């Protein structure tokens, strides 16, 4: 069969409206089995009223009916070449959904929104005597003040301030942010503050915070009301039930949610992808949640030479989800439930999948595995698993982890920083290689966890290499954060016999520049190597946690801390508990204390 190319401009000429033209052009690609869609370089405006719409339950986002500019559904062997085009979305809509599709390439495209889904203002003056500061909002911000409550209007809804931040134009979230940012601006709070509208999009705030912001800082506020959280309502690109997907030189700006999320998909490549604020504008935020997020995926997730900056959550989170056993109906039928509200409706399993049973207190596998024969959905929060073999005694509250959907991760040459929260969360049992990246976020550079308390995200790892990366002045927003944290949020460790959540983690040949003390905290790891790393103390900021040990190890086995160098500060200390010390190797470190302290 010969190649067939479809030209988007033909459909734009016919339908006059970009939203409808994209839908019709993609429909033609599917029907005619085209292998290429050309979008001539230009700027295209899409509106939800004429766009394809569909209800989606998206993991870690808000469920709902979404308008979609590029609905790539049931497409196969298709390349979409934007040739440098920019698609501007109006209203609450997503840029693209790739669903039930295979072998898809999207390249040379930019996605932006006409108005951001957050409030942004700049501090233009402050008065230290009267404890006031003046804040000038961007022109797009619509607000009113009612009895010292500030209410924002966006896309036909009214919101109160939710989570908010001070951002420095150069570094992102400011030093010691958690102790100086405003609380919710709510007249029912115990804060004695006043807001005065000065006109021309400017307000004066008095007695809101003890430490006044600096002139030039940007104020960023997410929005909320009783029914709706706008900051996770319309992610940028959503990959669902799709395989062999490549995003090549794609840029995502200003999303009302995650920049890119892949769910129940596999073999995904992001090459030179950027999630950043809109260039050439005063905007200082890219996505209002994670830059990238992959839940319940398989195959390999590859991120190469990407840039993620100024997003309001993590740069990357890759994980599974825990379901919870409700009760055994019989030896072959298990009733289950979903606990986190942003997982309602997600596809937990399908016939043939293997489910690992988890102790809900220790997060350690019980040893029992279930092979799914069938799954019966009752509603978005409740379902039944029919198993191929009879089950043992599974009690209410035990965790269920679908280990069939576990991806490998390869992340190289990426830059992640100037964002609220962590650079990356590595939480997949597959092989993970994180090398030659640059991390400069406001919290940890790398975090591993799993929990059955709040997020219900599974995250045990078995093979992780973290090498040749640069970690630069992380953990600047508040006290208590080491640069690398390996910490499942188990209610209690498994002591008899000792059980370990993670295995085989190597942290080698990295350069870690830090103004603070803590570098590594590890809990519940069997096999951890920290070797040939260079740690350099800087004077970029005042330390927030000078009391933290440089390295702290708890409830671990086979730990090797060797050939590391610590420069620019008092000797590096290692703190370790009795169990971990039994199988500890420490040798040939420079700048480290010879005394290993006990927890």
Each residue of 371-401: pLDDT tens digit? 999 999 999 999 999 999 999 989 999 999 9
- C-alpha pair distances (Å), 178 with each of 167, 197, 533: 12, 26, 29
Q: Which CATH number fits domain 5-116+233-313: 1.10.238.10, 3.60.110.10, 2.40.50.140, 2.160.20.10?
A: 2.160.20.10
Q: What is the pLDDT of residue 184?
A: 56
Q: Return the C-alpha torsion angle 507, 510, 514, 517, nearest 10.
A: 30
- Average pLDDT in the chain: 94
C-beta separation of 73 from 99 below 8 A: yes
C-beta separation of 577 from 546 below 8 A: no
Residue found under tokens 């069997």: 526
Same fold, 5-116+233-313 and 321-402: no
Whether omega before 497 lies within 30 degrees of 0, making that bond cis, reads yes
Mean pLDDT of the region 501-508: 98
Taking every pair of Cα atoms in the chain, the longest distance, rounded to a whole number of angstroms, is: 77
C-beta separation of 415 from 309 below 8 A: yes
Q: Which of 588, 442, 564, 466 is closest to 515 using CA atoms?
A: 442
φ, ψ (nearest 5 deg) of residue 506: -115, 125
Rounded to an integer, what distance in angstroms lies between the CA atom of residue 324 and that of residue 396?
A: 8
Strands (E), 174-279: 194-199, 202-206, 218-224, 237-240, 243-252, 260-263, 266-271, 274-275
Mean pLDDT of the region 254-270: 96
Q: Which residues contact 394 (CB under 8 A, 6 or more apart)?
A: 325, 328, 334, 357, 368
Rounded to an integer, what distance in angstroms lies between the CA atom of residue 412 and that of residue 302?
A: 8
Report residue 546's pLDDT band, with 50, 70 and 90 as the boundaries.
Answer: very high
What are the pLDDT digits (tens) for 464-489? 999 999 999 999 998 888 999 999 99
Overall pTM surpassing 0.95 (yes/no): yes
| Residues counted in the chain | 599
C-alpha 455: how far from its chain's center? 12
User: Does 321-402 carry CATH code 2.40.10?
Assistant: yes
CA Rg value for the chain: 25
Helix, strand, coil percent values for the chain (each to nearest 5): 5, 50, 40
Report residue 529's pLDDT band, with 50, 70 and 90 as the boundaries.
Answer: very high
Residue 526, beta-bridge partner list = 503, 557
Q: Which of 276, 223, 266, 226 is closest to 243 using CA atoms?
A: 266
Pairing of strands 316-330, 457-458: antiparallel
C-alpha 352: how far from its chain's center? 29
Q: What is the pLDDT of residue 154?
A: 83
The pLDDT of residue 23 is above 90 = yes
Report residue 446's pLDDT band, with 50, 70 and 90 as the boundaries.
Answer: very high
User: Is the model more confident about 150 or about 141?
Assistant: 141
The pLDDT of residue 1 is above 50 = no
Q: Which residues contact 438 (CB under 8 A, 6 or more apart)?
A: 414, 415, 416, 417, 469, 470, 472
Helix (H, G, I), strand (E, B) or coil at 150: strand
Least confident among 117-126, 157-166, 384-393, 452-461: 157-166
Residue found under tokens 């961007």: 138
Rounded to an integer, what distance in angstroms lies between the CA atom of residue 343 and that of residue 383?
A: 13
φ, ψ (nearest 5 deg) of residue 25: -65, -40
Give the domain ranges of the chain: 5-116+233-313, 119-230, 321-402, 439-598
């Amino acid at each position: 069969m010969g190649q067939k190319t479809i030209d988007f401009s033909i459909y734009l000429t016919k339908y006059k409206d970009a939203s409808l033209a994209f839908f019709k052009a993609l429909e033609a690609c599917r029907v005619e089995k085209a292998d290429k869609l050309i979008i001539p370089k230009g700027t295209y405006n899409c509106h939800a009223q004429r766009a394809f719409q569909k209800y989606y339950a998206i993991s870690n986002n808000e469920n709902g009916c979404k308008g979609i500019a590029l609905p790539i559904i049931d497409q196969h062997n298709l390349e979409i070449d934007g040739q440098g085009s920019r698609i501007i979305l109006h209203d609450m809509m997503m840029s693209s959904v790739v669903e039930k599709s295979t072998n898809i390439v999207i390249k040379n495209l930019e996605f932006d929104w006409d108005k951001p889904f957050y409030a942004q203002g700049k501090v233009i003056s402050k008065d230290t005597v009267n404890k006031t500061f003046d804040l000038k909002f961007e022109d797009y911000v619509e607000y009113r003040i009612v009895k010292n409550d500030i209410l924002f209007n966006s896309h036909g809804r009214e919101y109160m301030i939710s989570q908010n931040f001070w951002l420095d134009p150069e570094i992102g979230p400011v030093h010691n942010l958690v102790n100086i940012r405003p609380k919710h601006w709510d007249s029912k709070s115990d804060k004695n503050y006043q807001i005065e509208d000065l006109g021309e999009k400017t307000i004066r705030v008095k007695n809101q915070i003890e430490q006044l912001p600096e002139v030039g800082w940007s104020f960023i506020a997410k929005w909320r009301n009783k029914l709706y959280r706008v900051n996770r309502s319309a992610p940028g690109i959503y990959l669902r039930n799709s395989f062999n997907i490549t995003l090549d030189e794609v840029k995502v700006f200003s999303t009302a949610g995650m920049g890119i999320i892949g769910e129940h998909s596999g073999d995904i490549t992001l090459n030179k992808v950027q999630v950043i604020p809109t260039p050439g504008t005063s905007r200082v935020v890219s996505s209002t949640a994670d830059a990238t997020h992959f839940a319940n995926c398989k195959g390999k997730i590859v991120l190469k030479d990407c840039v993620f900056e100024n997003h309001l959550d993590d740069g990357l989170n890759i994980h599974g989800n825990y379901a919870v056993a409700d009760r055994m109906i019989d030896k072959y039928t298990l009733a289950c439930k979903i606990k986190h509200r942003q997982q309602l409706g997600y596809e937990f399993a399908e016939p043939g999948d293997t489910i690992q049973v988890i102790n809900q207190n220790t997060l350690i596998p019980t040893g029992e595995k279930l092979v799914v024969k069938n799954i019966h959905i009752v509603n978005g929060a409740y379902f039944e698993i029919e198993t191929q073999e009879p089950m043992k005694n599974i009690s209410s509250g035990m965790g269920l982890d679908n280990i069939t959907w576990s991806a490998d991760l390869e992340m190289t040459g990426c830059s992640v920083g100037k964002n609220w929260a962590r650079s990356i969360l590595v939480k997949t049992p597959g092989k993970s290689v994180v090398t030659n990246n640059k991390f400069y976020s406001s919290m940890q550079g790398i975090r591993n966890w799993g929990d059955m308390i709040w997020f219900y995200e599974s995250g045990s790892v078995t093979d992780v290499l973290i090498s040749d990366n640069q970690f630069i002045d992380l953990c600047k927003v508040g006290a208590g954060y080491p640069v690398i944290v390996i910490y499942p949020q188990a209610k209690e460790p498994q002591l008899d016999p000792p059980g370990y959540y993670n295995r085989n983690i190597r942290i080698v040949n990295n350069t870690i520049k830090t103004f603070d003390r803590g570098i590594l905290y590890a809990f519940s790891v069997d096999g951890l190597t920290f070797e040939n790393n260079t740690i350099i103390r800087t004077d970029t900021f005042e330390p927030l946690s000078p009391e933290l040990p440089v390295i702290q190890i708890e409830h671990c086995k086979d730990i090797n801390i060797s050939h590391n160098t610590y420069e620019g500060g008092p000797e590096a200390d290692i703190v370790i508990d009795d169990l971990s010390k039994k199988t500890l190797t420490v040798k040939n470190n420079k700048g480290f204390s010879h005394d290993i302290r006990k927890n």
